[in-house]
Structure 1
Amino acid sequence: MPLTRRDLIKRAGAAGLVAGWPGLSLAQSGGGILRMPPLVDATTSRAFDLLARTGETNFLGQSATSTWGFNDQTFLGPTLRLAHNSLTKASVRNSVSEPFSLHWHGLEIPGQADGGPHQPIATSTTWAVDLNIDQPPATVWYHSHTHLRTADHVQKGLAGVIQLTDGRDDERGLPSDYGTDDLTLVIQDRRFDRSGRAVYDPGMHDRMMGFTGDVILVNGQFGAQAVVPKGIVRLRLLNGSNARIYNLASRAGRTLHMVSTDTGFLDRPISIDSLQLAPGERAEVLLDFSDGTSDMLVSSSIANGGMMGGGMMGGGMMGGGMMGGSGGSFDILPISVDPSRRARIDRIPEGIGGTMPDLDIRGASR
Structure 2
Amino acid sequence: MSRLKRVLIILTTVVVVIGLALGGGALYLYSDADVSTVGTEFRTELAVPPPAKSTVTPNGTRRFELTMQAGQKEFRAGKQTPTWGFNGDFLGPTLRAKRGEKIEVKIKNTLGEASTVHWHGMHLPAKMDGGPHQMVAPGGTFSPRWTVNQPAATLWYHPHPHGTTERHVQRGLAGMFLLDDEKSARLALPRKYGVDDLPVIVQDVRFNGAKFDHGHQILRDTGFLGDRTMVNGTLDPYKLVGDELLRLRLLNASTARIYDFGFSDDRRFALIGTDGGLLEQPTGTDRIQLSPGERAEIVVRMKPGERTVLRSFPHSGYGDGWQGRFGGGDDSFDVLQLRAAKALRPSPQLPGELGTLEVPDGSDSVGERFFGLVTTGINGKKMKMDRIDETVVRGTAETWTVRNEHGTPHNFHVHDVQFRVLEVDGEEPPPELRGAKDTVFVPPFKTVKLAMRFEGPADPETPYMYHCHLLYHEDLGMMGQFVVVEKGRQAGKVRTPHSHSGH
TM range (shorter): 0.7 to 0.9
Q: Select 2:339's aligned residue among 336, 339, 344.
A: 336
Aligned-pair distance for 1:304?
A: 7.8
For residues 227-306 of structure 1, the aligned pairs below 5 Å read 227-302=240-315, 305=318
**For 1:279-321, what per-residue CA distance to the aligned partner results, in whole angstroms no more than 9, with x for missing partners?**
0000100001145421100011347858xxxxxxxxxxxxxxx
CA distance in 2, matches of 1:41, 1:110: 24
For residues 1-366 of structure 1, the aligned pairs below 5 Å read 16-17=36-37, 31-40=43-52, 42=54, 46-71=62-87, 73-166=88-181, 168-193=183-208, 195-202=209-216, 205-206=219-220, 208-302=221-315, 305=318, 326-339=329-342, 343=345, 345-355=347-357, 360-361=429-430
Aligned-pair distance for 1:155?
A: 0.7
Aligned-pair distance for 1:362?
A: 5.9
Given that 1:43 and 1:82 are in contact with CA atoms closer than 8 Å, whether structure 2 keeps it comes out as no
CA distance in 1, matches of 2:178, 2:346: 20
In structure 2, relative to structure 1, the CA distance for the partners of 1:261 and 1:186 (3 Å cut) is same
Given that 2:304 and 2:343 are in contact with CA atoms closer than 8 Å, whether structure 1 keeps it comes out as no
In structure 2, relative to structure 1, the CA distance for the partners of 1:228 and 1:66 (3 Å cut) is same
CA distance in 1, matches of 2:194, 2:283: 24
In structure 2, relative to structure 1, the CA distance for the partners of 1:129 and 1:204 (3 Å cut) is same
Aligned-pair distance for 1:43?
A: 9.2
Letter of the 1:171 partner, please give it: R
Letter of the 2:212 partner, please give it: A
CA distance in 1, matches of 2:250, 2:120: 14
Letter of the 2:137 partner, please give it: A
In structure 2, relative to structure 1, the CA distance for the partners of 1:169 and 1:197 (3 Å cut) is same
CA distance in 2, matches of 1:150, 1:91: 21
CA distance in 2, matches of 1:41, 1:276: 32
Q: What residue is the counterpart of 1:316 in the other structure?
A: none
Given that 1:267 and 1:356 are in contact with CA atoms closer than 8 Å, whether structure 2 keeps it comes out as no
Aligned-pair distance for 1:26?
A: 5.1
Aligned-pair distance for 1:221?
A: 0.8
CA distance in 2, matches of 1:255, 1:349: 17
- SS of equivalent residue, structure 2 residue 133: coil
Q: What is the TM-score with the length of structure 2 in the denominator?
A: 0.60
Letter of the 2:51 partner, please give it: L
In structure 2, relative to structure 1, the CA distance for the partners of 1:256 and 1:43 (3 Å cut) is farther
Count matched residues: 325
In structure 2, relative to structure 1, the CA distance for the partners of 1:41 and 1:136 (3 Å cut) is farther
Aligned-pair distance for 1:254?
A: 2.0
Letter of the 1:79 partner, please give it: T
- SS of equivalent residue, structure 1 residue 120: strand
- SS of equivalent residue, structure 2 residue 353: coil
Gaps of 5+ in 1: 1-14, 20-24, 307-322
- SS of equivalent residue, structure 2 residue 255: coil
Given that 1:245 and 1:302 are in contact with CA atoms closer than 8 Å, whether structure 2 keeps it comes out as no
Could you say what the CA RMSD is over the residues aligned between the two structures, in angstroms? 3.0
**For 1:208-230, what per-residue CA distance to the aligned partner results, in whole angstroms no more than 9, with x for missing partners?**
22211001010011012011113
Gaps of 5+ in 2: 1-34, 320-325, 360-419, 421-427, 434-503
Whose relative contact order is higher, 1 or 2, with alpha carbons under 8 Å and at least 6 apart? 1
